[in-house]
Structure 1
C-alpha cells in the first residue's frame, strides 16, 4: 500500500481528536472548568504558606492577548530554530 503510513497517522490523529472531544464534553457536563491547568492552584498553595516574592516583574504585558502573542512568537521562533537545525543536518548528510 503506497500511502499506508499517511493513513495510519491520519487515523491516529482522528482517534486522538475523538478521545479529546469526548473527554472535554464529559468535563463540561460535570460543571467543572475544562482544561484549566494547575497554575492557579499552585499559586494559591504557595501563597497560603506565607511566601512573598523577592521582586516584581520588570514588565507585565498589558493584556492576556499580548501575553498569548508573545508565547506564540516564542514557540514559533523555537520551531524555526529546530527546523533549521534539522534541515541543515539533513542537508549536510546528503552532500557528504
Structure 2
C-alpha cells in the first residue's frame, strides 16, 4: 500500500509541474531575474555582466521548470534530513 501511495504522489507532483506548461502554451512565465535585467539596462545601459551563461535554456518555460525542479529537489533533501534526524531522535 505504501508503494502505491508514494507512486501516486510522485505522479501528482509531475502532473502539477507539467500540466501548466501544456495548458498555457503561449503564456509568459517571467520572473524576478527578467525584471532585474530590465531595471539594470534602464539605470545603467553601459553595464555588462561579469559572467556569461554556460548554457541557455531553449525557452523561459524550460528555465522556470528547471528552477522549480531545483527548488523541489532542495526542499526534498532538507525535508528528508529533518525527518531522518527526527526519526533517529525518537528511536533512541
How does the TM-score come out when normalised to structure 2?
0.54
**2:77 alignment partner in structure 1:** 81
Q: TM-score, normalized by length of structure 1?
A: 0.52
Listed one character per residue, the Cα deviations across residues 35-59 of structure 1 (whole Å, up to 9, x for unaligned) are x765444323322322112332110
**Structure of higher RCO (CA pairs closer than 8 Å, 6+ residues apart):** 2
1:94 aligned residue: 90
Task: Name stretches of at least 5 consecutive residues in structure 2 with no aligned partner.
Answer: 1-29
Q: How many residues align?
A: 61
**1:57 aligned onto 2:53:** yes
Distance (Å, rounded) in 2 between the aligned partners of 1:69 and 1:82: 20
Residue segments in structure 1 that go unaligned for 5+ positions in a row: 1-35
Cα RMSD over matched residues? 2.1
